[in-house]
Amino acid sequence: MHLVALTGGIASGKSTVAARLAEHGAVIVDADKLAREVVEPGTDALRQIAETFGSDLLRPDGSLDRPALGQRVFGQPEQLQKLNAITHPAVHRLGMERFAEAEAADPDAIVVYDVPLLVEASDRPYDFELVVVVSADDETRVRRLVDLRGMAEQDARRRVGSQASEAERLAVADHVIDSTGTLDETLAQVDALWTTLEALPQSGARSATASGAGN
């Protein structure tokens, strides 16, 4: 199994890249989806969130009011750190399960872990063979959030500013996809990346490790 990390800031185009890789045959494990699973009603992580940030964050049906939680943590590093300390270990454990399932189904699988907060995580618990960064400058990402998602500019800048800087992401990259051009230009870069991934020798693949915490 080849384990590849795919990361990028909000509105960087990472989801587009992940979808293209899936079309080529990659097994996509989405950290955001895992993060939603670990805070479903009845989970230990959800209980800890309610105890830490207030039980009013629970909806009448017992589910988490994610937008309300976001308002309490984004732009507030100490609060965000508390949230990450709750969710990252749970996401890590679930991620390990998904990787093991993919490898059991196909020992030669190319597994792509779509993980927005790779740089922000305090630990790097997975032994990635490659780290792919989808790159777009802050202004491009703010414009996309405003134009394509209807977000207020102030909120968009706050969301972008709450994440790692583009320089921090690029510092950990083994491969960079520049998404500031046209869609076709971005997809062409993804197709070239897939060719590279297919050429990786299976003997050099590295399995995920179970140490540490984070997502």
Q: So what's the pLDDT on residue 125?
A: 61
For residues 38 and 48, what is the distance between their CA atoms, to the nearest angstrom? 11
Residue 12's alpha-carbon distances to 103, 150, 179, in angstroms, are 29, 16, 7
SS3 of residue 165 by DSSP: coil
**Average pLDDT for consecutive 10-residue bins of the chain (215 residues)?**
94 95 97 94 95 95 94 88 90 92 95 89 74 94 93 92 89 94 96 95 49 34
Q: So what's the pLDDT on residue 99?
A: 95
Q: So what's the pLDDT on residue 124?
A: 59
Taking CA 32 as the corner, what is the angle to CA 40 and CA 92, rounded to the nearest 5 degrees?
80
For residues 6 and 170, what is the distance between their CA atoms, to the nearest angstrom? 12
- What token pair was written down for 163? 């994440």
Taking CA 32 as the corner, what is the angle to CA 167 and CA 209, rounded to the nearest 5 degrees?
75
For residues 80 and 206, what is the distance between their CA atoms, to the nearest angstrom? 31
Q: What is the pTM of this model?
A: 0.81
Q: So what's the pLDDT on residue 74?
A: 82
Fold of 2-204: Rossmann fold (3.40.50)
Q: So what's the pLDDT on residue 170?
A: 93
